[in-house]
Structure 1
Amino acid sequence: MGAASKFFRSISPSVALAVGTITFATVSLLPNGLRWPTRALFFLSLIVLLGHLVRGLHRSKTNPRAWLFTGIALALGLAVAYGVGEVGAAVLLKLRPDLGTAPLELTEPQRASLTRSLEDTTSYIQYDPELGWSVRPNARSEDGLAQSNALGCRADREYATEVPEGSFRILTFGDSYTHCNEVANPDTWQVAAESARPDLEVVNGGVGGYGVTQSLLRCRSGMQHLKTHVVILGCMTDDLRRSLNAYYPFRFDNPRQAPSASGLPFSTLDRDGKLQIHPNPLGSQERMRQLLDDPTTLLPELAQLEPLYTPARATPLTDLLAHQWPVMEEKLSPLTAALKTRWDILCNRRSSPSRRAPRAPSIYEPGHPVFEVNAQLFQTFAQEVREAGLHPVVLWFPNPKDLAKMVENRDTPIYSRYLTRLQEAGIEVHDVLDWIREDAAPHTPADVAALYSGGHFSPAANRIIGHRIARMPWIPPHEAGFKQTPTPE
């Protein structure tokens, strides 16, 4: 009998732990009638485990040295574990540098791109000391799809400074969705709008890879060279972080993966929360050559300017954990949410929002620096266009993921708070996702794929956008004639 009692006493902690784990994991899956006995088993297992803990502490009191030895063993164990962790992290980061903070260096592809920027005179994209890069006048893209005119706008024809009599002109600026990458000139949404209304002139001033800061500055320049009635600024989700980007490779989690290198103007908020637009840190050929000749000196300087760059942590282990924790947290979040739900059910209480830990805003929510910077950039755009006597419009383009999510579950787009902020500021903004949903009605992944050419809109999607632009209420009927446009300063 004594042996059996000793045996059951020895296995009771393991049994209690198993019972507690099983009841905790399954309580939310059981019908209400079985939940109260499950709760009873869970708390009984906790009592058994606590009993064994108290018994162990009581035995330690009869032998004071046990506390000392336990403390020493614990300290040594933690020290050894930390040392092994640091060594292991150092070895892992050596083998997989992409798991931590990448070293500041200029890769061979980046060096080659800088050299081309300084020497090439025929490429479609050229070095621009103010904007970082821009479309070269009278050039054709390497894939043969895009052709620019003498102004560096994407077009097969030239535009006069004055709006032709009987025409209505729209200037468009933005990123690759405005430029219409991956389709030919006749398949852009600007040309589609002109085809729907021959009295329209829709000028394509988009440039691939632009953030909102660059688009705003290019818009300022464009309004000085061409008279117009309306100015459209195009944007999509990738542009948001770009607006704060000072050195192109820092857009990448691992800057070494960037295929090219370039500086660009960027925006921040000052201490009073006001918008500050900073010039291109590589705004001269001398600075570009300095980066080529002495990257070890200039790259740390660029890193200090860069809002998107996070320097390496003090030790390999802390650096590894800092980079991998967001990934781990994302994977563990369903588990932690499930554990919290099961604990609330076991305690027979409802989860209260007041007990939840506050969450930092994302870049798609008010309060985050990226959100506030871009909101002020859009407001600055609208203010400057209105001061010129023109009408400002913002177009928000969905990327393939945005459209796929809409098709799957009809969720509100992740960027919806930006649209709300702009509408509250009195800025006309259109979500192209709504146009696609209403005019193309995609219901399957195949429908979504048909609307994109690679990562950008297909000719069919661009036709939808162009025809919507041509039907805008601020374009008067052709027979009504058009008002004289203001004269650029």
Structure 2
Amino acid sequence: MSTPSRFAKVLATGAVLALCVGGLEIATRLVIRKNPTTGLDALSRVTLLPLRPSENAIREAYARTANSTYLVRDQTMGWTIKPNGRAGEYSANAQGIRTDPTRTFAAARPTEGRRILAVGDSFTHGDGVPLDATWEAQLEAMHGDLEVLNLGGPGYGTDQAFLRWRKEGRAFEAHVVVLGIWPENIARNLNILRFLMTPDAGLEMSKPRFILDDGELVLINSPTLDEDGLVRALTLGEPTSLMRHDFWRRESEQTFRPYFHLSFLRVAASVWAAYERKQLRQQLYEGTRPEGNEITVAIARAFAREVRASGASPLVLIMPMRELLALQASPEGLPLVRALKAEAIPVVDLGPSFFDAQRTSSVGDLFQPDGHLTREGNAIVARVIAPHLFGTVSGTAESGTTTESVDKTPSVEASDSRP
């Protein structure tokens, strides 16, 4: 082949390649949209790198929550439920408890019957269902001698739930205090700024977290960051000393790369980063990355100790996670549950009951599209937890089981959730 012919072939190949790259670039740019919540480019639910929101976007997100009628900022927990708050089907009484707004609870526990106090995240709060469909309300309807206080907080980590019990729940004498833990909390307990864990939202959300120092819990980001602190934390090129403790802050996701000028390469890098995040979550659930379980167990241990000191019995309730039911129901079970039992912390894992329920009910009957529980799902929670509130479940105790009796407090023991 002559040199001119070879050169012509190279030019033709280059032209075709340029057309392909150009077409791919144009097509990619056409499908990229601006996320109105964060101000960042996104493709579907994947936020494009770098994860560096503007100061204006942060301040606008912060301002949008200032007039919330239900969830309000709180320097101790990050956010909490507004006393007498209301939003759609959610309502709170003057004490900030999700209940009938006209209902109030005395500090002393009732002289007749039993008082249960529940703290946790949205699965405890009852996201997506009306008040009477929450598992707390269904428990009260099933058992007239139970009084159940719902102090769950949407979006909470186990750290925030524990802090809410310390700040607000401890003021109410109870027979049993339930700490609801959804497996996702394992990831949240390592996080300070929600945006860094879920980049499609949460610019305005700053939460406290515990770290371990020689085995002891140390609370950081308390009080939580104010507006200016959020701006500094999310816009500075170098992480502050505080942000070095956010497990989900990844330097590789904060840095602009020259090849990001090509949108399709930027999208590819962003999709890969999202995949790595998903894999990292799975490693936390499965315990191959131990950091999440270690801090969660330490928080649960402190919770159990302080609840016992208050004269009540602690119970950790592991909520079902639709994507993890097979692991929760496996013979080995969730590593978090095994670790809690090893610490003799009373625990009930709801996963096995929901796994079994799928055989007669569809997943849609038990879980809402976003993964929260339906009315029927909450009813299962109420039925499974009830025996643990009224007395020891019959049968052989498992390894790590504890049975407690504190001043006529109903006994509580560790188990899985199969009846």
CA distance in 2, matches of 1:417, 1:246: 24
Change (3 A) 1:470 1:324: closer
CA contact under 8 A between 2:61 and 2:204: conserved in structure 1? yes
Among 384, 390, 409, the residue aligned to 2:312: 390
Change (3 A) 1:192 1:363: closer
Q: Secondary structure at the match of 1:380?
A: helix
Shift of 1:430: 0.8
Shift of 1:247: 1.1
CA distance in 2, matches of 1:153, 1:175: 13
Q: Secondary structure at the match of 2:97?
A: coil
Question: What pairs up with 1:54-133 in 2 under 5 angstroms?
Answer: 98=47, 100-106=49-55, 108=57, 110-118=58-66, 120=67, 123-133=69-79
Q: Does 1:258 align with 2:198?
A: no
State the match for 2:13 in structure 1. Answer: none
Shift of 1:225: 1.5
Q: Secondary structure at the match of 1:370?
A: helix
Q: Secondary structure at the match of 1:214?
A: helix
Q: Does 1:153 align with 2:97?
A: yes
The count of corresponding residues between Structure 1 and Structure 2 is: 347
CA contact under 8 A between 1:363 and 1:369: conserved in structure 2? no
Moved more, 122-131 or 300-309: 300-309
Change (3 A) 1:452 1:106: farther
Change (3 A) 1:391 1:290: closer
Q: Does 1:276 align with 2:218?
A: yes
CA contact under 8 A between 2:151 and 2:169: conserved in structure 1? no
Change (3 A) 1:223 1:366: farther
Q: Secondary structure at the match of 1:472?
A: helix
Q: Does 1:222 align with 2:137?
A: no
Q: Does 1:472 align with 2:394?
A: no
CA distance in 2, matches of 1:203, 1:191: 9
State the match for 1:169 in structure 2. Answer: 115
Change (3 A) 1:279 1:196: same
Change (3 A) 1:426 1:366: farther
Shift of 1:448: 1.1
The letter of the residue matching 2:345 is I
Question: What pairs up with 1:73-472 in 2 under 5 angstroms?
Answer: 98=47, 100-106=49-55, 108=57, 110-118=58-66, 120=67, 123-141=69-87, 144-156=88-100, 157-252=103-198, 255=199, 257-270=200-213, 272-280=214-222, 282-283=224-225, 287-289=226-228, 291=230, 296=235, 300-301=239-240, 303-312=243-252, 316=257, 362-365=284-287, 368-403=290-325, 405=326, 412=330, 416-437=334-355, 441-443=357-359, 447-454=362-369, 455-472=371-388
Q: Secondary structure at the match of 1:231?
A: strand
CA contact under 8 A between 2:316 and 2:347: conserved in structure 1? yes
The letter of the residue matching 1:276 is V
CA contact under 8 A between 1:173 and 1:233: conserved in structure 2? yes
Larger helix proportion of the pair = 1
CA distance in 1, matches of 2:236, 2:276: 36
CA distance in 1, matches of 2:52, 2:332: 32
Q: Which runs of 5+ in 2 are unaligned?
A: 1-21, 33-40, 261-265, 393-405, 410-419
Change (3 A) 1:177 1:411: closer
Shift of 1:239: 1.0
Q: Secondary structure at the match of 1:209?
A: coil
Shift of 1:392: 0.6
Identity %, equivalent residues:
28
Larger strand proportion of the pair = 2
Shift of 1:464: 2.0
Change (3 A) 1:436 1:424: same
Change (3 A) 1:379 1:483: closer
Q: Deviations over 1:32-79 (max 9, x none)?
A: xxxxxxxxxxxxxxxxxxxxxxxxxxxxxxxxxxxxxxxxxxxxxxxx
CA contact under 8 A between 2:341 and 2:347: conserved in structure 1? yes
Change (3 A) 1:293 1:365: closer
CA distance in 1, matches of 2:332, 2:48: 27
Q: Secondary structure at the match of 2:90?
A: coil
CA distance in 2, matches of 1:294, 1:429: 37
Change (3 A) 1:385 1:322: farther
Shift of 1:237: 1.6
Q: Secondary structure at the match of 1:456?
A: coil
State the match for 1:67 in structure 2. Answer: none
Shift of 1:231: 0.5
Q: Secondary structure at the match of 1:470?
A: helix
CA distance in 2, matches of 1:291, 1:367: 28
State the match for 1:24 in structure 2. Answer: none
CA distance in 1, matches of 2:348, 2:83: 30
Moved more, 300-309 or 129-138: 300-309
CA distance in 1, matches of 2:251, 2:232: 23
The letter of the residue matching 1:152 is G
Shift of 1:459: 1.0
Q: Deviations over 1:244-285 (max 9, x none)?
A: 111121112xx3x21541211012233x344322134634xx
Shift of 1:234: 0.3
Change (3 A) 1:383 1:125: same
Q: Deviations over 1:341-377 (max 9, x none)?
A: xxxxxxxxxxxxxxxxxxx964531662112111211
Q: What TM-score, normalized to structure 1?
A: 0.62
The letter of the residue matching 1:311 is E
